[in-house]
Amino acid sequence: MVQRMFGTNGVRGVVNEDMNTDLALQMGKAIGKFFNGTVAIATDTRVSGDMIKAAVSAGLMATGCTVRDLGVVPTPAIQYHVKTDDDVVGGVMITASHNPPKFNGIKCIDGDGTEMPREKEEQIEVLYASEIPCQSWNDIGSMETYGNAGEDYIDAVLRHVDVAAIRKAGLTAVLDCANGAACRTTPLLLKKLGVRAVTLNADMQGEFPGHPSEPTAENLRDLLYLTKAVNADIGIAHDGDADRAVFATNDGSFVPGDKSLALMAKSTVLANGGGLIVTPVSSSSMVEEVVNKAGGKLIYTAVGSPIVARRMMAEGSKFGGEENGGLIFAEHQYCRDGAMTIAKMIESIVKFGPLLKQIQELPVYYTDKRKIECPNNRKADLIEYMKGKFSPGNKVDLTDGMKILFSDGGWVLLRPSGTEPIFRIYSESKNKDLAEQRCGEFESAAKAFMEDSE
């Protein structure tokens, strides 16, 4: 069997350890052999971006591909470029998203601009493990540059919101770009929307990411403080490659990703008079409650944004997304889209009133999350055991791991990590104590099983 290289978000590793130039060169050749045409390439702002890009590009050219270098742009901007330029048959984004700065990664983009489906990644893995023939000296590829992909992307986003109404509202935003890929594009978006922007960590030459890199409340303290201090209408933060955006309200509170997901789902359903919304089984039932009330219907998938995007395409769904701030708007493109999320969220403030008020109107659910260790070869047995123990009398959903749905509306999801020897336990209920108690019960039962079977 060929070694698996691609995780849920591309090939990732620590630079000059597992993510080195040998790997990047061979990966470039494999991707070049797979695409065999003009391939767009871009990076986020990591110091290793140029090195990995150069090695991947050399591999692409050795196999005869033309490399189109877009420079530093958000992941959804290269995706938009690949989707809209007929000469481009695929793309490569050099990024490790929200991972710490010592990491970097290689992510492939399919010819239609979507994240590559697993079957195609497997084909690239097979090529990677083989001896890849290179072109003769006079048939190798060349390199061209295109510097307008970020602007093209922002102009496209603007076509999907009511720019005149937003400009008239005269809003203020505080924006934290994590010194990442959105440093040029999101300030431009806000300027074109007539939103007065106070920026933080918006320096491409600055140290990436300017704060610990995952966009959580804890890591975004400066943003929350400043949003409150200037009483901005919205606080905005990106992860490193800006496929995600998260928000803060004017009083400086962090908006968890499931709440922005629910608000955007609701406005999509209202704007379309119904429709299907797609999200993974790990998302809060709060989203489902909001979607049902607005007259829509929710479809659950396994975890992973490419899975959500492909299900949206199959079902003709207009909106879907994950609870980590990765939202997908079909009217623009089938991928997580940071700038589009921001434009739509700002438009919703203009249409429906202050963000804080919209958040306060959402139903309240409580969650508890834990993780337990479990070797990969024991994962199936653990699921079987837990199913036998907890399924009697309750509904079971096996879309991803095992989700037990209790009759009171609460649920517990036991999900194996695709990359690590662990299970994640998610518990949710409208009753805080019950959410914690059930999470604890699942954790103890799983631990006991693991110990007994050792």
Residues interacting with Mg ion, by CB under 5 A? 97, 239, 241, 243
Choice between 9 and 283, CB closer to Mg ion: 9
Choice between 9 and 26, CB closer to Mg ion: 9
In whole angstroms, the minimum distance from the beta carbon of 322 to Mg ion comes to 11
In whole angstroms, the minimum distance from the beta carbon of 52 to Mg ion comes to 16
Q: Tell me how far apart the alpha carbons of residues 367 and 454 are, in angstroms, rounded to a whole number.
A: 31
Choice between 101 and 409, CB closer to Mg ion: 101
Q: Tell me how far apart the alpha carbons of residues 295 and 266 are, in angstroms, rounded to a whole number.
A: 9
Phi/psi for 244 (5° steps) reads -120, 155
Choice between 44 and 368, CB closer to Mg ion: 44
Residue with nearest beta carbon to Mg ion: 97
In whole angstroms, the minimum distance from the beta carbon of 50 to Mg ion comes to 20
> Which candidate in 57, 97, 267, 285 is catalytic?
97
Task: Please report the sign of the dihedral spanned by the C-alpha atoms of residue 159, residue 165, residue 170, residue 174.
Answer: negative
Strands 422-429 and 411-416: antiparallel
Choice between 344 and 438, CB closer to Mg ion: 344
Catalytic residue list contains 429:
no
Torsion of CA 238, 240, 241, 244, to 10 degrees: -30
In whole angstroms, the minimum distance from the beta carbon of 239 to Mg ion comes to 4
Run of H or E residues at 18: none
**Can you say how many angstroms the Cα of residue 294 is from the centroid of all Cα atoms in its chain?**
25
Q: Tell me how far apart the alpha carbons of residues 190 and 179 are, in angstroms, rounded to a whole number.
A: 17
Closest by CA to 342, choosing from 215, 214, 453, is 215
Q: Tell me how far apart the alpha carbons of residues 55 and 36 are, in angstroms, rounded to a whole number.
A: 17
Run of H or E residues at 164: helix 163-169
Choice between 121 and 239, CB closer to Mg ion: 239
Give every strand in the sheet of 319-321, ordered side by side.
297-301, 276-280, 319-321, 327-329, 333-336
Q: Tell me how far apart the alpha carbons of residues 99 and 273 are, in angstroms, rounded to a whole number.
A: 39
Choice between 97 and 279, CB closer to Mg ion: 97
Q: CB–CB of 433/408 below 8 Å? A: no
Closest by CA to 269, choosing from 295, 288, 287, is 295
In whole angstroms, the minimum distance from the beta carbon of 303 to Mg ion comes to 15
Choice between 241 and 337, CB closer to Mg ion: 241
Choice between 10 and 401, CB closer to Mg ion: 10
Question: Residue 231, by phi and psi: left (phi above 0), alpha (psi -120 to 50) or beta?
Answer: left
In whole angstroms, the minimum distance from the beta carbon of 9 to Mg ion comes to 7
Q: Tell me how far apart the alpha carbons of residues 104 and 102 are, in angstroms, rounded to a whole number.
A: 7
Closest by CA to 176, choosing from 198, 204, 196, 194, is 198
- Mutual angle of helices 75-84 and 338-352, in 10-degree steps: 100
At 8, list the tokens: 């849920």
In whole angstroms, the minimum distance from the beta carbon of 186 to Mg ion comes to 14
In whole angstroms, the minimum distance from the beta carbon of 88 to Mg ion comes to 21
In whole angstroms, the minimum distance from the beta carbon of 144 to Mg ion comes to 26
Q: Tell me how far apart the alpha carbons of residues 118 and 134 are, in angstroms, rounded to a whole number.
A: 25
- List active site positions: 97
